[in-house]
Amino acid sequence: MKSILRRAASIYRKQHGGGRKEPIVKAVGLKGNEQWHVVDATPGLGRDAFVLVSVGCHVTMIERSPIVAALLEDGIRRLQIDYPDLASRMTLQHGNSAEVMQYFDGEDVNAIYLDPMFPHKKKSALVKKEMRLFQQLLGHDPDADALLPPALKLATHRVVVKRPNSADVLAGHKPSMAIESKKHRFDVYLCQKN
């Protein structure tokens, strides 16, 4: 039942003010009717990937956890029932994102999106129940810094990293720019291959 409600919430978000106004879309740099290929190397439950496909992107999600990959496969299968056009723009690969990106075989990748587990803070409110479950299931991302170098080599236009406002930049690598909101920011690394 909850997954149906979440899917309905995502559709509502798309239809009522979401889409190109979403911070992730701005951070990825999508303009006009471009149909970019984006790799989501840390897809979680696929919400950000859904936003990107809803504005015309083709998204390849890379997930190393077999349990999360199974949840994503189920989500794509359910999306296929009501929104086959959106589901057709989502693909899923199993594996370690750093390795998969290093040896990526496929169409050019315009942008790469990284949203690793946020670093643990000593004093903070509890995260949402859903994310607490994820953290218990998967742990934190101690190897998150390893994602940035292969992402920068693979992307033709930009790499986007979602971080809490108070967090250090990923891998100590200063971004080209940052798009900030109240709770988090999108660090944007421009690539010179375009």
Higher pLDDT, 140 or 190: 190
DSSP 3-state assignment of 25?
helix
pLDDT of residue 181: 84
Is the predicted pLDDT of residue 191 greater than 60, yes or no?
yes
Which spans in 31-65 are helix H?
47-54
Cα–Cα distances in angstroms (integers) from residue 38 to residues 73, 128, 155, 166, in the given order: 18, 27, 9, 26
Is the predicted pLDDT of residue 16 greater than 50, yes or no?
no
Write down all domains in the chain, each with its CATH number in brackets. 33-190 (3.40.50.150)
Q: What is the DSSP letter of 192?
A: S
Residues 66-115 have pLDDT tens digits of 999 999 999 999 999 999 999 999 999 999 999 999 999 888 999 999 99
Is the predicted pLDDT of residue 23 greater than 70, yes or no?
yes
32-46, 123-137, 142-156, 174-188: the lowest-pLDDT one: 123-137
Q: Does the CA dihedral 194-27-89-72 come out positive or negative?
A: positive
pLDDT of residue 123: 52
The sheet carrying 37-40 orders its strands as 90-94, 58-63, 37-40, 109-114, 155-164, 184-190, 177-180
pLDDT of residue 94: 95
Residues 49-59 have pLDDT tens digits of 999 999 999 99
Is the predicted pLDDT of residue 170 greater than 70, yes or no?
yes
